[in-house]
A and B are shown apart, each in its own frame.
Chain A
Amino acid sequence: GNSVTQMEGPVTLSEEAFLTINCTYTATGYPSLFWYVQYPGEGLQLLLKATKADDKGSNKGFEATYRKETTSFHLEKGSVQVSDSAVYFCALTGLDTGRRALTFGSGTRLQVQP
């Protein structure tokens, strides 16, 4: 079946540090890939997405590239801020077009210290 594996957290960084959160997936075909962010006490918000191989999704300084050869979709940001502290979820969909449900990774908590 489909699955998403993320690096375990928490990830603790100082402000302006470089961020990488690893995400790999197992699926057949060509899923769409997403990063969602969950701020404390809130629901999930879409951060970025990529729908085909070699696509790069980007938003708010975050980037992720759809790498089919390595089945990866790593999240990066060049300079994190305290306001980026949240839980980040990697997810995929598109394989089961009947329901289009998301398969989530377990989430990675990011803590950015001033």
Chain B
Amino acid sequence: NAGVTQTPKFRILKIGQSMTLQCTQDMNHNYMYWYRQDPGMGLKLIYYSVGAGITDKGEVPNGYNVSRSTTEDFPLRLELAAPSQTSVYFCASSYSGPSSYEQYFGPGTRLTVT
């Protein structure tokens, strides 16, 4: 199993450009998440999904959009990039069992907006 994969690994954007961060998991997990990690800080939740077709906002959703058309994929869209979105982005997934809260993380995408 590949687990959670993310592309690209690195990206530099100019202010105002758009891009999509890709995330795919092959564990048949219902729950998927996007976090951002700023230097010296913990991870903050951007968006999450509890299943295909269902998404909701986390703590810091402004400037981002998501979709979940399949169980496997959970792309994150940045429409108008701003310097404040310079960060490392992590996708994660988890099983939806009654006591299963462990999350599996992808390797991250390092984004710089200049």
Partner of A106, one of B31, B41, B99: B41
Q: Is A43 a contact partner of B90 (Cβ separation < 8 A)?
A: yes
Verify if A24 is at the interface (C-beta below 8 Å from B).
no
Complex Cα spacing A34 to B106, Å: 17
Judge whether B105 and A45 touch: CB under 8 Å: yes
Interface band, chain A: 20 to 34
Nearest B residue to A94 by beta-carbon distance? B101
Q: A98-B50, A99-B50 are in contact. Are A43 and B105 (CB under 8 A)?
A: yes
Interface size counted on chain B using CB atoms at 8 A? 25
- Please judge, given known A-B contacts A32-B101, A99-B50, A100-B101, whether A107 and B56 are in contact too, CB under 8 Å: no
Give the shortest distance, in Å, between B45 (CB) and chain A (any CB): 5
Identify which of A32, A51, A89, A93 contacts B42 (C-beta below 8 A): A89
Task: List B residues 56-114 near A (Cβ within 8 Å).
Answer: 56, 58, 90, 92, 94, 99, 101-108
- Cβ contacts A97-111/B at 8 Å (1 or 0 each): 011111011110000
Task: A105 to B108: give the CA distance in the assembly, Å.
Answer: 18
Residues of B within 8 A of A99 (CB): 31, 48, 50, 56, 58
B interface residues with partner A (beta carbon < 8 Å) = 4, 31, 33, 40-45, 48, 50, 56, 58, 90, 92, 94, 99, 101-108
Query: What are 26 A-B contacts defined by CB distance under 8 Å?
Result: A36-B105, A42-B107, A43-B90, A44-B90, A44-B92, A44-B105, A46-B103, A49-B101, A51-B101, A89-B42, A91-B42, A98-B50, A99-B56, A99-B58, A100-B94, A100-B101, A101-B33, A101-B45, A101-B58, A102-B45, A102-B103, A104-B42, A104-B44, A106-B42, A107-B41, A107-B42
